[in-house]
Amino acid sequence: MHLPIWKPFVNEWITFFLFLISIFLLIGISEAARSFFHWRPESSRKLVHVIVGTLVSVCPFIFVSKSLPITLAIIFIIINTIALKNETFKGMHSTDRVSYGTVYFPFAFLILATFWWEKPITLVLSILIMTFSDTIAAIIGERTTNPRQFKLWVDIKSIEGCVAMFLSTFMIIYVGTDVFAWLFEAAFFIPLTILIGVSGFVAMLVTLSESNSYRGSDNFSVPIIAALSYDLYLINYTHGNLDSLLIWSLLSSIAFYIAYKFNSLSRDGAVGAYVMGIIIFGAGGLKWVIPIATFFILSSIISKISKTDNQLHKGSKRDIIQVLANGGVATIIAIINFYVPNEDFYILYLAVIAAATADTWASEIGSFNSKDPFHIIRFTRVAKGTSGAISFLGTVGSILGSITIGLIGYIWNVPLPLIYLIVIAGSIGSLVDSFIGGSIQANFECIECNKFTEKRTHCSVPSSYISGIYYIDNDMVNFLNTVSAVLILTLLK
């Protein structure tokens, strides 16, 4: 079988507009049915979710070019954002809770259509998982009497819903892969044990992603994680690295559980770091996972030793946002290298982790300084833990952090001149972090304990905004630090 299997019209734009009209027509019917039958907003949204998801999964079968599905995704990102803001099309997006899932879903499809269009099996299965597994999990969770509920991040989930998510995802991967193998006339063959394995692997990571969500963010994370985990498992199998991936998945789960028990990670942070670690290991093996594992382990140890006032304001227990802020860019680079291998990506990867390590060690080691640090812009002494503060010991810690990551690169035969660039990029990135933190970073005051903080939420309540750019909090500054390392290394090379 060759895709697309059906071209309704020679001009694909005609197909596109009819496809778009069909979606709006079905949304309109759902809106009318919601009003007429007095459906709950959540029930109406689920129906639209299934209808639109099913239609979207058909795209690879009727379109040759990915530009049209990409256009479709962009249109619905815009429409859904406006509808959500103006509280219109309630049959499409309304729920019994605050959720931005209707914006996340087309954004996920945009990513899938852009980067996985040439992998239609992966794309279709990922969309079907988001369409059906997520809906089944929600229905089971709601219909269960006295469900066993829990909260990893913000959204409340249930054990029963997670079991439904796992089992339905398992079946979609198992049956879907088998059906595609038949449709493509055995163009690929997967042994039964591997088919069961990939189904369970994808189901596990998807269920973790779905349970660790914030106001519908699983509508983005689930299909993306499904696509990545499906490819990671099967490609590692074909390359003979599957045993290593499975061993890492087991051992790292133990390691992150220990980190959670020792309060180095929150529950949502531990789950997020676990999934991130599997992606990085699956994408590059030990060579890629050791640098970020070194950053996490040594930074956690130093953080426990320092125990300064800084910890009261920023928090020594890393949550998922902090995990993503420090490791998100590195993970993206690892994924890109997995699909388009290039040694230059490893250098960028090390520079990003060097910047994250340098910044973390500067703060923690700088806390041992006997005198208060200087503000990087005002050149006056400020309290320890103040954003934008620099000190002699902190600078030494920053350089040591970069050197540590550079030495790991040297072990993996990265040329010495490039090691120098990695160390320089990491150290300068840390200074960029201090400069942003001391100039435009937002500052808040906790309305409960009256302490100044860099977090929008403190003591489990929203903090009072004081100064700086509201959306540039400490986590955003850490993210910009890692981005700056990419830019700095690119300029130095």
> Residue 2 pLDDT > 70, yes or no?
no
Q: Tell me what pLDDT residue 311 has.
A: 42
How many residues are present in the chain? 493
> Residue 97 pLDDT > 80, yes or no?
no
DSSP 8-state secondary structure symbol assigned to residue 87: T
Q: What Rg, from alpha-carbon coordinates, does the chain have? A: 24
418-439: average pLDDT: 92
The whole-angstrom separation of Cα 120 and Cα 113 is 9
Q: Tell me what pLDDT residue 315 has.
A: 53
Q: In this predicted model, what pLDDT tens digit does every residue of 342-364 receive, in sequence order?
A: 999 999 999 999 999 999 999 88
The secondary element (H helix, E strand) that includes residue 48 is helix 41-57
User: In whole angstroms, what separates CA 437 from the centre of its chain?
Assistant: 24
Q: Tell me what pLDDT residue 309 has.
A: 45
Q: Is residue 97, in this structure, part of any structural domain at all?
A: no
Q: Tell me what pLDDT residue 211 has.
A: 94
Q: Tell me what pLDDT residue 445 has.
A: 82
Q: In this predicted model, what pLDDT tens digit does every residue of 108-134 receive, in sequence order?
A: 999 999 999 999 999 999 999 999 998
Read off the pLDDT band of 174 (50, 70, 90).
Answer: very high
Q: Is residue 331, in this structure, part of any structural domain at all?
A: yes
Lowest mean pLDDT among 86-95, 152-161, 193-202, 414-423: 86-95
Model pTM above 0.85: yes
> Residue 93 pLDDT > 60, yes or no?
no
> Residue 26 pLDDT > 90, yes or no?
no
Farthest CA pair distance, the chain: 75
State whether residue 13 is helix, strand or coil: helix
Q: In this predicted model, what pLDDT tens digit does every residue of 300-316 receive, in sequence order?
A: 888 878 755 444 345 55
Q: Which domain holds residue 465?
A: 290-493
Cβ atoms 359, 481 nearer than 8 A:
yes
Omega before residue 4 within 30° of 0, cis: yes
Q: Is residue 467, in this structure, part of any structural domain at all?
A: yes
Q: In this predicted model, what pLDDT tens digit does every residue of 427-437 receive, in sequence order?
A: 999 999 889 98
Cβ atoms 405, 353 nearer than 8 A:
yes
The whole-angstrom separation of Cα 474 and Cα 296 is 18
Q: Is residue 111, in this structure, part of any structural domain at all?
A: no
Q: In this predicted model, what pLDDT tens digit does every residue of 253-290 receive, in sequence order?
A: 999 999 999 888 999 999 999 999 999 999 999 999 99
Q: Is residue 7, in this structure, part of any structural domain at all?
A: no
Q: Tell me what pLDDT residue 24 has.
A: 84
214-237: average pLDDT: 95
Give the chain's count of helices (H) and strands (E). 20, 9
pLDDT-above-70 percentage for the chain: 92
Q: Is residue 133, in this structure, part of any structural domain at all?
A: no
> How many domains are contained in the chain?
1
Q: Tell me what pLDDT residue 453 has.
A: 78
Q: Tell me what pLDDT residue 312 has.
A: 39
Q: Tell me what pLDDT residue 316 has.
A: 58
Q: Tell me what pLDDT residue 313 has.
A: 47
Q: Tell me what pLDDT residue 95 has.
A: 53
Specify the residue for token string 């041992």.
Answer: 368
Dihedral sign for Cα atoms in the order 347, 271, 154, 78: positive
The whole-angstrom separation of Cα 32 and Cα 300 is 55
State the CB neighbour count (10 A cutoff) for residue 84: 19
